[in-house]
Amino acid sequence: DREGVNNGIGIRTPMGVDAAYHGMEIQVLDHDAPIYKNLRVYQQHGSVYGIIPAKRVKFPPLGPWNVEEIRAVGDRITVTVNGEVILDGDIREACQGHNVAPDGGKKNPYTVDHRNHPGLFNASGHIGLLGHGAGIKFRNIRIKELPAAKTKK
């Protein structure tokens, strides 16, 4: 509803932590706004923040509602916006199984943002609307529990 909104949808996240690192954050962002001209690809709308960049979607002008589906089955995350699949990837494959740096350091060479994401492989957790400022609205939120998928070890 307002240009430049920045938000996210946390999935499989414990309470009281930063979902982008201790769970998973699906980015919700008006990435075409001028203030985001230096945005990194893993910050684009629909991305699994810091892990899998989404295909850059072109949003209609402000006003009409957009429809988004986030599907998380095991390690496979799919994000569909207005009928177009913009992300379909495997979080474990994306970071070659290294959600944290193998040497225990703060710089992780296996993630796109080079940060540790200790909660990335959480099998369950909370769903959260991660407010980063005013201007975004959600409606008709539906949550459907899907059968658990087998995870690769």
Domains of the chain: 6-90+120-129 (2.60.120.560)
User: Cβ(85)–Cβ(77) under 8 Å?
Assistant: no
Residue 133 has pLDDT above 90, yes or no: no
**pTM value > 0.85:** yes
Q: Within a 10 A sphere around the Cβ of 26, how many other Cβ atoms?
A: 25
User: Cβ(103)–Cβ(109) under 8 Å?
Assistant: no
Residue 1 has pLDDT above 70, yes or no: no
Residue 148 has pLDDT above 80, yes or no: no
pLDDT tens column, 5-63: 788 999 999 999 999 999 999 999 888 888 888 888 899 999 999 999 999 988 877 77
User: Is 109 strand, coil or helix?
Assistant: coil
What does the alpha-carbon distance between residue 3 and residue 16 come to, in Å, rounded to a whole number? 28
User: Is 99 strand, coil or helix?
Assistant: coil
Q: What is the pLDDT of residue 36?
A: 85
Residue 76 has pLDDT above 70, yes or no: yes
Q: Which neighbouring-strand residues pair with 88?
A: 78
What does the alpha-carbon distance between residue 150 and residue 153 come to, in Å, rounded to a whole number? 9
Candidate from 41-45, 67-71, 87-91 with smallest mean pLDDT: 41-45
Task: Report residue 150's pLDDT band, with 50, 70 and 90 as the boundaries.
Answer: low
Calculate the average pLDDT of the chain: 90
